[in-house]
Chain A
Amino acid sequence: MSEASPEGPRPSASPLDGVRVIDFTWIVAGPTCTRLLGDLGAEVIRVENEQTLDSIRFGRPHPNGFDPPNSSGMFNWLDRNKRSITVNARHPDGLGLIKQLIGVSDVLVENYSSRILENWGLSYAEQCAENPQIIYVSLSGFGHSGPQRDYSTWGPTAQALSGLTSMSGLPEAPEPAGWGYSYLDHMAGFTAAAAITAALRHRRETGQGQWIDLSQVETGMALTAGATLDFTVNERRYRETGNPPGNRAVWPQSAPHNTYPTAGDDNWIMITCTSDAEWERFCEVSDHPHWRSDDRFATLPARLRHQDELDEQIGSWTAGQDGRALMQRLQAADVPAGVVQNGVDLVVNDPQMRAREWTATRDHPIIGEHLTDGLQIRFSRTPAHRDRSAPVLGEANGYVFGDLLGLSDARIAELHENGALG
């Protein structure tokens, strides 16, 4: 229901053009969701308050020098394609403006602890009083119901509670390796985006809005089916069988299936052979065709039994070889193999990403020229976009309070004066 943005329409339509999202999100999980909605064409309006800024606005790196709240590369990465207004929801006039904005919007997303919006006077029922068709998304650690609804999480603690942390690591280590980042912040954000787009489709069909209550831990538990069902069906507890298995396979059974060292410091290649055919092709290009006829390695059950010897021999062969050249050689023989890439590799060293123009240069008033990353869904007719860098704090106050809500300049100045805006 939005009018065209002040810059005018983009050259081609995106799938969520015309959808307006009120964005009460912070840190990573919520902003991941609204970044995707923004990429898909929605007009995303971040509701910020100068007194309680999203700490990501201070997050490193600051590519052009530390000058918050508008210098964070982390924020610019997570919050591209969004607008920003500054308003205080705890001020009665500020709350009134937010309610007016709800009246002309389609979706409201927040990822605060479970009682915050309720305490502000913005429960789902109160939102519906302004706009019965609103789609409200509450994204919290434990959801808005149940005995532990007042517990809280961050990405890492949610991962730990869901079981996901325990499922990554070496079997003999005293602790799991877990995830080196907030995987569940991203996944909960994607989960919310999927639910929102489905709910938008339902609303266009029926006129009905709804409340989507999302628990970050539940989104994680929903990704542990193999281990969970092995327990509920086979009564096998996760740690009974030497889990987590390092880089060896769980299912489908495969061997070899591991990381092997290559030339240089801390460089590794992942090689996985699920079928005997893949194993035979591997042996042919490995300089060790006799592995194929070795009784210990001839069949998958044998290779699974002798994984220690198998991994040791393959590791001796890969050590000292150039990882990328080895990957090309194995791939030429149709063997699943890939070097372990970090973020810098994706940006600098990845020919596939380069060929598909995964990065693009954009400008930002404080950060200056910088790289932004890719669009993950390529629509043939209504492309997603990455046109705007992240908003400078409050850059859309004039657009939202003046153009959208129709307040006079004098009234806006008055609201700044009394603390409702800012």
Chain B
Amino acid sequence: MTTVTQARALAGIRVLDCSEPQGHFTGKLLAGLGADVIQIEPPGGSAGRSIGPFLDDQPGLERSLYWWHYAGGKRSVVLDLFSDDGLDVFLQMAESADVVLETWQPGRDRPFDPLALAEHVPELVVLSLTPFGQTGPWRDFAWSDAVGLALGGPMGSCGYDNIPGTPPIRPTEHHASHIAGYYAATGVCAALYERQSSGLGQHLDVSMHECMGFTIESSAPWALYEQHPLIRQAGRHAGPQPTEPWQYPTADGRLINIFGMPRSEASWLSLVGFIQSKGMGEHLSDVELLDGRKRQLGLQQPSVAMMLADIAEFIAANEAEEIYAGAQAAGAAWSIIRTPDECLSDEHWHARGFFVDVEHEEHGRTVTFPGAPYVLSETPWQHGRRAPLLGEHTSELLCAELGLSTEELGMLVAAGVAQ
């Protein structure tokens, strides 16, 4: 793990993260870049604490592995923003904060108007990250990550062409939040950068729906220019016409993706040499395949059908790791289709320090997390300390930093406003 003494890109930035689960990833990104992110939780705890998986499969406020990850590096203050006293304390905190992150849909109950807050505290960057944005007929639509992926476009490109009658398939693991989270974090950083010269904050309206609309690759230009929908296909890109499969089973029951076929003749010959060293791939010596255009996938060419038949046979007769290493050494960007647990066995990621160990002292264990999405040489990303316990920093923030007396805090706690 990196040490805490190094510089951090968002050092000195305080974020009040009032988000519901769809915004937790944004706060985590800002924490990883060095901001002091304070998750404001409602009494009883964030809904994120009830999202699994759970430690030993037992639900509990401090047992959510989702929370451990998405709240990692943050502090926790429990404050009922829907009470007058809680909101009053929050607005005092906002006076000295740099960023407020909120996710309430504009027409539903929300404790404050984000635009009004941005006007009230001119230096503040107020981020509203909501399913559909602050305006429009769907702005208050009931939402879940899967509904978001359905309406937003990503799901429409994913599914099976080879199993009749099957629906589009949505990829699992909160990707609507991931996609929007990067936009939101980038927007906050850009606004903070601009603030360094103007001295002013502003309001950011980020619609998760709109963020997803730019993550569907060629579906977008085909729609924008030709109003032409694409055909979804198993394990490969949706396209305007059907294309050849990319996923092939190995002798040890796994799958290889062959999309990265060599482009140069040298790499092609090297790949053919590797395959033929195993006594297979007789047709790959065909001179026609020396022409890179005759190896190009996606055009349903007879030369490609011949090539893929030999490749499929070769893959079916060999083990995945050996195929992967041999093909990459030959310059072909083939890969194994791994499950997340299998990634932990790859020494490359350990050599780069991707996986990080974090102490969860209450449970007496060290937990390995997926780590940095980027390696910054001077301001390293950090997981920070383990996710906060419910209200762990309420007293620290409200008394030591904001200046409430212990009696005042006691009254808020007694009234159920703080915890």
Contact = CB atoms under 8 A, between A and B. Distances in A.
A238 B137 contact: no
B111 to A, nearest CB: 20
Nearest to B248: A175
B375 A213 contact: yes
Interface stretch (B38-46, B87-95, B153-161, B300-308): B153-161
B375 to A, nearest CB: 4
B223 A343 contact: yes
Interface residues of B, number: 152
Interface string B125-152: 0000000110111110111101111111
Interface string B5-47: 0011111000000000000000001000100000000000000
A117 interface: no
Interface stretch (A93-101, A352-360, A413-421): A352-360
Nearest to B192: A201
Interface in B149-188: 149-160, 163, 166-175, 178-179, 182-187
Nearest to B328: A151
B206 interface: yes
Interface string A41-69: 00000000000000000011101000000
Interface in B65-122: 65-66, 68-70, 115, 118
B187 A377 contact: yes
B394 interface: no
Interface string A295-333: 000000000000000000000000000000000000100
Contact of A61 (B192, B193, B226, B235): B226
Contact of B339 (A200, A217, A227): A227
A170 B163 CA distance: 10
Contact of A226 (B66, B220, B333, B344): B66
Given A141-B333, A152-B260, A344-B227, A223 B158 contact: no
B340 A228 contact: yes
A1 to B, nearest CB: 13
B182 A191 contact: yes
Interface in A364-379: 367, 370-379
A283 interface: no
Given A163-B339, A238-B341, A382 B373 contact: no
A374 B136 CA distance: 15
Interface in A119-167: 124, 141-143, 145-148, 151-154, 156-158, 160-167
Contacts of A177: 158-160, 169, 234-235
Given A146-B351, A225-B370, A201 B57 contact: no
Interface stretch (A178-186, A286-294, A392-400): A178-186
Contacts of A232: 344, 367-369
A283 to B, nearest CB: 15
Contacts of A186: 179, 214-215, 217
B156 A343 contact: yes
Given A151-B328, A182-B237, A201-B193, A268 B70 contact: no
B235 A261 contact: no
Contacts of B378: 202, 208-210
A270 B259 contact: no
Interface string A186-219: 1100111111011111101110111111110111
B213 A374 contact: yes
Given A175-B234, A201-B10, A379-B204, A342 B223 contact: yes
Q: Which of B153, B160, B215, B374 has the most CB of A within 10 A?
A: B374
B65 A226 contact: yes
Contacts of B9: 195, 198-199, 201-202
B59 to A, nearest CB: 10
A40 interface: yes
B173 A226 contact: yes
B374 A214 contact: yes
A385 interface: no
A84 interface: no
A344 B349 CA distance: 39
B339 A148 contact: no
A422 interface: no
Contacts of A251: 51-53, 66
A374 B210 contact: yes
Contacts of A214: 373-375
Contact of B376 (A176, A190, A195, A219): A195
Interface string B338-351: 11111110011101
A381 B124 CA distance: 12
Given A59-B218, A154-B260, A187-B179, A168 B150 contact: no
Given A157-B259, A226-B173, A234 B57 contact: yes
A351 B137 contact: yes
B395 interface: no
Contacts of A174: 249
A395 to B, nearest CB: 20
B372 interface: yes
A126 B341 CA distance: 39
Contact of B65 (A157, A222, A230): A230
A210 B157 contact: no
B230 interface: yes
B66 to A, nearest CB: 6
5 closest cross-chain pairs (CB), A and B: A180-B157, A343-B223, A343-B219, A197-B189, A163-B340
Given A178-B337, A183-B171, A244-B169, 10 more contacts: A165-B235, A175-B337, A178-B158, A179-B154, A180-B230, A195-B376, A202-B11, A219-B373, A344-B228, A355-B136
8 contacts: A141-B333, A146-B348, A163-B342, A168-B170, A179-B171, A352-B139, A371-B224, A376-B214
